[in-house]
């Protein structure tokens, strides 16, 4: 295992001493094409060792261990991992690199490809799914709320904190809390899967990255591998990815005997497929200069047709277009073509296809900090309100316990006064009894005054809620 210092990561820890751990095999010439292996959620470079050494027999191979597995407690999101890949590729000077992404490592490969225009030669996506990053997104949002105060997590459940964070982030991305209020109510009533999708879009800005990744897929050949016995992927996801693999030389292969651990159990078979795929791409490059790939209406229509209405919604929302109900179902090509033309002509679409610059990333970082501050300020306000409501309820409960004793004191006072009146003027009352009656009377008055003040507090609280 090796490590290299990459400096400060834009979306990572704010430390100038960030180090990334990786393993290498095969030739290490500076200009040699390289294959970078990206594991799934819980994978490391060590878990990819069989495939690493198999590929290393014919070409340079590198396997990355994401941060969060070397003594760190935090699990990073797919977007943050993409910046780790970007940092490692830049630090090692890799060019003509091929990303091999396993499970949600495939999503990391797509995001990293959008960050490295012109440096990625091909993509190998093994059992690609779209579920990566949920756990990290939820943890990051919960941490953003919890850091405001130690007491806040005790007052709000994990579900409430999750919704509060998502609401704040999504509201700022939609142009303000007021504008997002009707839309948020619909999300609040949606199934948990919709919330997770919303969290990912709010946290990682995947509305734009989806289009950027799609653009990269038109320029880069993709080898899509799918294990038939892997329960984490299904046929619908494979069909969607196959529709995106439109670049010349793209290929889809099903490994019938491989399961979730196919990277280890079928390393030799996978290495052979990857080597044949890359050799074919190299031969095409030698035979003719690479064609200039342009985005046609048919290409964009193919992309949109492979997406579901749920996946189309954030794209259309970004560019301000209604979601066509028939796009993606293949039964109304005219509606799809009309949407494609409208989509390609919008400034938002053109802007989203642009490669992010350093200035864009810095602006995104500042926005992220502003969103976090807003979340924290809302959390503190919620904490103060909860404290006030808690105090009002506590006083009300105490008064409720005092009322029976106040009634008893009043009855006893009446009895004492009646007894005094029966004695007549010739009787000299016991001074101690008089003082005791007076004290009881004063205490009763104070308790009644306290009860009236509590009623006022409760009325104020009910008006403010």
Average pLDDT over residues 40-56: 81
Top mean-pLDDT range of 216-230, 283-297, 359-373: 216-230
Q: Which long-range contacts (CB under 8 A, 24 or more apart) does 388-394 make?
A: 388/461, 389/461, 392/454, 392/457, 392/458, 392/461
Query: Which one has a higher pLDDT value, 31 or 133?
Result: 31
User: What single string gives the DSSP state of each residue in 315-370?
Assistant: HHHHHT----SSTTTTS-HHHHHHHHHHHHTSHHHHHHTSPP-HHHHHHHHHHHHH
Residue 276 near residue 269 (C-beta atoms within 8 A): no
User: What residues form DSSP beta bridges with 19?
Assistant: 5
Mean pLDDT value of segment 371-400: 55
The pLDDT, as a whole number, for residue 137 is 39
Compute the 3-state secondary structure of the chain and give helix, strand, coil in percent, each to the nearest 5.
60, 10, 30
Q: pLDDT at residue 54 above 80?
A: yes
CB atoms within 10 A of CB 62: 26
Q: Quick one: pLDDT at residue 37?
A: 92
pLDDT reported for residue 98: 92
pLDDT at 384: 59
- The rounded percent of the chain whose pLDDT value lies above 90 is 2
pLDDT-derived band of residue 138, with 50, 70 and 90 as boundaries?
very low
How far apart CA 89 and CA 101 sit, in angstroms, is 15
DSSP structure string for 119-145: TEEEEEEES--S-TTHHHHHHHHHHHH
So what's the pLDDT on residue 99? 92
**In contact, 315 and 338? CB cutoff 8 Å:** no
Top pLDDT among 427 and 215 is at 215
Res 28 pLDDT > 80: no
pTM score above 0.75:
no
DSSP assignment letter at 48: T
pLDDT of residue 95: 81
Looking at residue 84, its pLDDT comes to: 84
CA distances from 38 to 44, 71, 76, 110, 457 (A): 8, 19, 14, 11, 59
% of the chain at pLDDT higher than 70: 28
- Tokens matching residue 219: 């320029």
Phi, psi of 144 (to 5 degrees): -60, -35
pLDDT for residue 320 is more than 50: yes
Strands 60-65 and 97-102: unpaired
Per-residue pLDDT of 66-125, as tens digits, reads: 876 655 545 566 777 888 888 888 888 888 899 998 877 887 887 788 778 778 888 888
Highest mean pLDDT among 194-203, 304-313, 405-414: 304-313
Among 134-143, 166-175, 218-227, 231-240, the range scoring the smallest mean pLDDT is 134-143
Burial of 31 (0-12, 13-18, 19+ CB in 10 A): exposed
3-class DSSP assignment, residue 21:
strand
| Residue with more model confidence, 169 or 109 | 109
Averaged pLDDT for residues 144-160: 39
Partners of 129 in the β-ladder:
none
pLDDT confidence of residue 453: 55
Q: What is the pLDDT of residue 12?
A: 40
């Amino acid at each position: 295992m090796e490590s290299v210092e990459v400096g400060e990561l834009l979306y990572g820890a704010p430390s100038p001493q960030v180090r990334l751990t990786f393993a290498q095999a095969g030739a290490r010439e500076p200009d040699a094409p390289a294959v970078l292996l990206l594991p799934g959620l819980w994978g490391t470079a060590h878990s990819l060792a069989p495939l690493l050494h198999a590929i290393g027999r014919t070409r340079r191979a590198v396997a990355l261990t994401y941060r969060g597995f070397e003594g760190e407690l935090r699990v990073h999101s797919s977007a943050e991992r993409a910046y780790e890949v970007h940092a490692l590729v830049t630090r090692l000077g890799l060019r003509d690199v091929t990303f091999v992404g396993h499970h949600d490592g495939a999503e990391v490969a797509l995001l990293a490809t959008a960050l490295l225009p012109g440096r990625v030669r091909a993509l190998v996506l093994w059992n690609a799914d779209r579920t990566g990053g949920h756990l990290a997104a939820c943890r990051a949002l919960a941490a953003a709320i919890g850091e405001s105060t130690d007491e806040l997590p005790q007052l709000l459940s994990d579900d409430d904190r999750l919704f509060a964070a998502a609401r704040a982030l999504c509201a700022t991305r939609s142009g303000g809390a007021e504008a997002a209020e009707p839309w948020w109510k619909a999300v609040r009533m949606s199934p948990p899967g919709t919330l997770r999708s919303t969290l990912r879009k709010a946290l990682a800005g995947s509305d734009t990255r989806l289009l950027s990744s799609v653009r990269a897929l038109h320029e880069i050949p993709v080898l899509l591998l799918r294990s038939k016995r892997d329960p984490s992927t299904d046929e619908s996801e494979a069909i969607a990815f196959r529709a995106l693999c439109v670049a010349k030389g793209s290929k889809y292969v099903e490994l019938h005997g491989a399961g979730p651990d196919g990277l280890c159990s079928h390393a030799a078979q996978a290495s052979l497929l990857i080597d044949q795929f890359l050799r074919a791409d190299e031969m095409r490059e030698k035979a003719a200069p690479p064609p200039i790939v342009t985005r046609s209406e048919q290409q964009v229509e193919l992309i949109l047709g492979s997406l579901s209405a749920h996946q189309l919604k954030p794209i259309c929302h970004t560019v301000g277009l209604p979601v066509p109900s028939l796009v993606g179902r293949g039964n109304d090509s005219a509606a799809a073509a009309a949407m494609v033309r409208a989509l390609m002509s919008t400034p938002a679409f053109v802007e989203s296809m642009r490669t992010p610059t350093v200035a864009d990333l810095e602006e995104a970082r500042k926005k992220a900090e502003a969103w976090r501050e807003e979340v924290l300020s809302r959390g503190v306000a919620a904490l103060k309100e909860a404290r006030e409501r808690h105090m009002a309820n506590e006083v009300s409960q105490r008064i409720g316990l005092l009322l029976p004793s106040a009634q008893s004191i009043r009855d006893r006072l009446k009895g004492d006064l009646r007894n005094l009146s029966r004695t007549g003027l010739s009787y000299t009352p016991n001074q101690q009894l008089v003082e005791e009656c007076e004290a009881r009377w004063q205490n009763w008055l104070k308790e009644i005054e306290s009860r009236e003040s509590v009623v006022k507090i409760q009325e104020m609280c009910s008006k403010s809620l």
